[in-house]
Structures are given as structure tokens and as C-alpha cells.
Structure 1
Amino acid sequence: MSSSTTTTPVTTPASAPTTSRSSLVSSSRLLEFAMFGVLALLIVIATIIYPAFLTPGNIGIILTQIAPLGIVAVGMTLVIIAGGFDLSVGAVFACAATLYTAIADRWTPGGAMVAALGLATVLGLVNGLVVTKLRVNPFITTLGTSSLYSGGVLFLTNAGSFSNTGEYFQAIGRGSIAGIRIPVVLLILAFLAGTIILDRTKFGRGIFAVGGSREAARLSGISVDVVQGSTYVISGFLAGLAGVITAGQVGAGQGSMGATIALDAIAIVVIGGTSLRGGEGRIWRTAVGMAIIAVLNNIFISLAVDNNIQLVAKGLIVILAVAADQLVRRSKR
């Protein structure tokens, strides 16, 4: 009895698609780290315009000025990686700054600071509860609460401003520790804390998982609502801290402060390469984005660029950064 074996030819994919896929991945890597090149170019331009740009004194001034915004951006990074969005940070910033300034004379500055940070944390908690429990879209939620918080503080203060030039009140914005400005110290601590949370903790891994896929995260045993809601609490606290720092720097607080904080923080995050779709990002990338915005601001100031033109430029940068993110994501498919 004889049998015949039919051999089915095995076809292998042509090498061209593999090569193409490899080149796409390489291109995505180049895009991910292109911001380092942008930062280097801006530094060169800034140094040409202002030769003293890289002196320690000027770098210290730049970091002190950008510190409140950088702190807000750390919280924004966590929210976005978890698949959320927070447009209310400017309003929370203003509420904290106003409360801190308004009660610092009647309370101790330390007590006023605790109250302001407590308020900011509660406002962040409200955002988190609305998003996770009521299932309202994060964009709509924080757009609404931004209006609610801003309108509330303006109504309660009759759209007035408060000032305080006391030494202890202004210490958090103008004081120093070992020769380093306190805002810079707090900025560094915020970035370190954000890095540890994302890279070294179970909570951080949960943030990535929730941002990548809520359902997959839930099936793997992660408390999705707790994780995502907590990022809004952190964002609120950090926005409040930034407001307190700024109030200390300028010696005043009012409900109209922080009008562009949300746009600037989002710009920093997306320029750094954190995806607005969630599940991807790093704190060090946000640090790069912050550095780019800081240098760009310094160039604008040196050239006396109109504030409205600065807003246009930042808006275009955000659009380009998001477009680059989309290109990277498509190349990874």
C-alpha cells in the first residue's frame, strides 16, 4: 500500500514589508526624541539673542518662573496617561491662590497654605468623582468645573484681588533653601514624585493600564475608578500648590489668575510626547516639554513678542505636537 504526501509550499512574507515596518519603527523613535533636537536648537537661538542665557543666574530665574507651570504639568501628565483630561487646573490654581492670600493675615501662612491645598485637593476629587462615578466625559467634566470654580471664586470675592507682602507669606514663592529657590526645589520634588509613582509603584502601573484599556485593566483586577479618580486628586493638589507658589511670588491672589495655565500645561505634556489617547508617557518627557516652553518664553521676552502672538505660537506648537503623536502611533501599527 503506497501513500503519497502532498507538500504544500510554504510562503514567507517578502522582505520588503518587514524592512518597511522596521523603518517605520525607527522613524517613530526619531520622532519621539526629536524634541531633544528642538530643545537644543532653541537653546542655541536663545544664546545668540541673549549671550548670558546659559549663566547659572539666568537659568535659576527661568526655572523659578516656570516652576508653577511645571508642577501643574506633572499632574496633567498623570491624568492624561490614565486616559483623562483636566481643563480645570487654571481655575483650581486661581482658587488656591486667592484663598491663600485672602486668609493668610487672619491665619498663619502655614495654616492658610494647608487650607488652600486642601481646597484644591477637594476640587480635584470632585472632578474625579464626576468622571468615574457619573461617567461624564473628562473634557466636558473639567470644562464645566473650570467654569464652576472660576465663577464661584469670582462671585465670592466680588471679582476682587487680595495682596500680601509679608515675608512669611512670600517665602514659598521667593525664599531659598541651600541657595536654591523654594519654587525650584518644589518643582524638582514634583518631578521626582511623579517619576517614582509612574515607574516604581503598583499605582503607576495601574495608571498606564487604565489609560491603555479600561476594560482590560478591570479584568486584570485593577480598581479602575480609584486609579483614574486619584489622578484628578493629584492634579488638583499640584494645581493648588502652583497657585500658592505664584501668590507668594507676586504677593497677590485673585480669581482671574491662571487663565492660560491649562493650555500651557497641556502644551508641555504633548510636546514632551505623552499621548492624548492615554496609556503612554513619561515624566522625563514632560520635563523636556517644560524646558522647551521655558526657553521659548525666554526668547519671546527677549524679543518683546506680543502676548497674543505668544498664544498663537503656543497653539500652533500644540497642534504640531499632537500631529506628530498621531504619526508616531500610525507608524507603530
Structure 2
Amino acid sequence: MTDTLTTTPANTPLALNKKTSITDIALRYGLILVLFVLVAVSQTLYPRFLDPQNIKNILSQNAPLGIVAVGMTLVMITRGFDLSVGASYAAGATVFASLAVGGWSLWAAGAVTLLIGLAAGLINGTIITRVNVNPFVATLGTTSAFSGLALLYSNSSPFVVSDKAFTTIGRGALLGVPISIWILGAVLIVGEFVLRRTVYGRSLYAIGGNDEASRLAGLPTAMLRTSTYVICGVCAALGGMIIASRLSIGQADIGASMALDSIAVVVIGGTSLMGGEGAVWRSAIGLLIVAVLTNLLDSLAVDSNYQLVIKGTIVVAAVALDSFARSRR
């Protein structure tokens, strides 16, 4: 009696499914491999890259961008855009510094600054969901409006803060770790928890996947989409507070590239421009890729113009990869 060895032809559905699953896994988690490769290359070209102090510097310098990216992730999951985050970021820095100069306590100044970010997000969300203005056009317009208001408020002059306590969240440390990194970590954890473990988060994915079907299913789509802009505005204001604290200056013309940088981080992380897909942890990976690349290029004294070309190419490649992944699915 002989045993019969059963084999699966390479062109059977089972084999095809295995190949497809491997490809999908590579597309979904390949960013982590990209990050590891980038870190290895950075360490090779710049031996002090993995020095603990350098890592702290990288994370603290990019903490404001990472915080804004969390808010942008929620907006983009619902198939939206917020180009006004740069203006909200600058307004937050300006107001926070101005109130500190005026003798306000840091807690009170911070609360007012976050409320301003909330108001900016509420304005964006209302225009988009109630007036039905395209998110790109709406936030492009509010960018100009918010920037103008910040310039009028500051009389186009910076607010310089001499109080050392003002630098606490920007330069201070807790247990040897910069406070800005603690804040970034908290925002990332809360954002990921909300998206993955709450009804609110699942509702955002549903809206991004099919807004009309979500509305017919009874979801308050307008309110939910507005809430993402509110959260994004608050994140932008918080990022502005951190940068103002680090520099001891608040001025209305900072953060000009914040909108594009935050969108780049989110897109590189794999959040789809078409909505319905994405995650805060993926934006965190996107942030690390951008931060590591920037640090490496700066360490190698690469011309800033070439850096713009490299970053732009990466963003285009990330969007192309997203389109490819969607076509495979």
C-alpha cells in the first residue's frame, strides 16, 4: 500500500489567496520595515543617530507636527481635509504667548488657546457640513481668515515671553523625557483608542467609507464630521502652544508648512485620501519616517531645496502605493 501525496497546483484559488494575503500584508505593514531600514541607514551614515539625546531631540522637535497629524488623521478618515491647521497652529502660539505676556497663568492661557482651536475647528466643520462647501475650498478660505485675524491680533509683531515657567511644556522634562514627548504620546494613545475601541471611532470609518449609507443608517454624519474638525483645531492649537513654549515667542507667521507637513505624515502613514481607512498608529509611523529622514538629511547637511524634492517624491510615492493597494483589494 502506498501513500498518496496530494499537492496544490500553483494556480489554484488556495495558492492565489496565499499570494494575495502575503501581498496585502506587505502593503499594510511594509511601512514598519521601511522605518527600520531608514533607521539602519541613518545609523550607518550618522553613527550618533541612535544616541538617546538625539532620539529625544527628534521626537521633541516633531511633537507639534505629530499632535496635528492625529487630528488630521480623523479628518481624512471621514474623507476630509483641513488646510487651515497651519493658521490655527500659528494663532494658538500667538494667543498663548500673548496671554502669558499679559500675566495670565499658564493653565488659564492654555485653556483659552485650546478653546480658540476648538472654535476654529467648529467654524470649519459648520461651513463644510451645513453650508456644503468643499473641504478643500472651505479650509483654504479659513486659512486666510484665521491668519489675518492672528496678524491683526498681534499687530504683525511677535510676543516675546521672558517668564521661564512659560517654557515648561516646550523645554521641560519629566523623568528625563521632554514633556512635549509625553504630550505627544498621550495624544497618540488617546487617538488610537478612540478610533479602534469606541463607537465614535467606528462611526468615523463608516462615514469615510460611505457617507450616504451611514446617514441612512441613522448616524449623525454632519455632527460627526464636524467633530473631527473640532478635534483637529484643538490639536493644532496645542501644537502651537508647544512651539511657542519652546521658542518663548508667539507670532502669527509660523507654521506656514504645517498643513502640508501634517497631510504628508498622514498620507505616508497609509491613511487613504479616499476616506474610510487609516489609523493613528500608522500616522505615528509616518511621523517617525519623516522625522528620521529630516534628521538624517540635516545631519548630512543636505541642501534644503533637495530635501523638499525628496519629501515631495515620498508623498507622491505614498499616494501611488495607496492607489495600488486599493486596486488590489
TM over 0.5: yes
SS in 1 for 2:101: coil
CA contact (8 A) 2:64 2:240 kept: yes
Corresponding position of 1:319: 316
Give ranges in structure 2 of 5+ residues lacking alignment. Answer: 1-10
Which letter does structure 2 place at the counterpart of 1:209? A
Question: Using the alignment, how far apart are the partners of 2:310 and 2:266 within structure 1?
Answer: 16
Q: Does 1:259 align with 2:256?
A: yes
- 1:79: Cα distance to partner? 0.5
Question: Using the alignment, how far apart are the partners of 1:23 and 1:318 within structure 2?
Answer: 27
Which letter does structure 2 place at the counterpart of 1:226? M
Give the 5 Å matches for 1:289-304: 289-304=286-301
Corresponding position of 2:160: 163
Give ranges in structure 1 of 5+ residues lacking alignment. Answer: 1-14
Of stretches 265-274 and 48-57 in structure 1, the one that deviates more from structure 2 is 48-57
- 1:25: Cα distance to partner? 4.6
Corresponding position of 1:272: 269
Runs of 4 or more off by more than 6 Å in structure 1?
none
SS in 2 for 1:33: helix
Q: Does 1:192 align with 2:189?
A: yes
Of stretches 51-60 and 22-31 in structure 1, the one that deviates more from structure 2 is 22-31
- 1:330: Cα distance to partner? 0.2
Corresponding position of 2:74: 78
Corresponding position of 2:224: 227
Q: Does 1:57 align with 2:59?
A: no
Q: 1:148 to 1:17 in 2, by over 3 A?
A: farther
Question: Using the alignment, how far apart are the partners of 1:239 and 1:21 within structure 2?
Answer: 43
SS in 2 for 1:53: coil
* Residue-by-residue CA offset, 1:85-105 (whole Å, 9 max, x unaligned): 111111100000011111212
Q: 1:17 to 1:143 in 2, by over 3 A?
A: farther
Question: Using the alignment, how far apart are the partners of 1:266 and 1:28 within structure 2?
Answer: 24
Question: Using the alignment, how far apart are the partners of 1:203 and 1:286 within structure 2?
Answer: 19
Question: Using the alignment, how far apart are the partners of 2:123 and 2:238 within structure 1?
Answer: 17
Q: Does 1:89 align with 2:102?
A: no
Question: Using the alignment, how far apart are the partners of 1:99 and 1:298 within structure 2?
Answer: 30
- 1:110: Cα distance to partner? 2.0
Q: 1:213 to 1:111 in 2, by over 3 A?
A: same
213, 218, 241: which is aligned to 2:210? Answer: 213
Give the 5 Å matches for 1:121-200: 121-200=118-197
Of stretches 310-319 and 21-30 in structure 1, the one that deviates more from structure 2 is 21-30
Q: Given the two structures, how large is their TM-score scaled by the length of structure 1?
A: 0.92
How many equivalent residue pairs?
319
Which letter does structure 2 place at the counterpart of 1:205? R
CA contact (8 A) 1:162 1:252 kept: yes
* Residue-by-residue CA offset, 1:242-300 (whole Å, 9 max, x unaligned): 00000001111111100111111111111111101100111111111111011001111
Identity %: 45
Of stretches 146-155 and 272-281 in structure 1, the one that deviates more from structure 2 is 146-155
CA contact (8 A) 1:174 1:182 kept: yes
Of stretches 282-291 and 101-110 in structure 1, the one that deviates more from structure 2 is 101-110
CA contact (8 A) 1:49 1:302 kept: no
- 1:23: Cα distance to partner? 3.4
- 1:111: Cα distance to partner? 1.6
Which one has a bigger Cα radius of gyration? 1
- 1:303: Cα distance to partner? 1.2
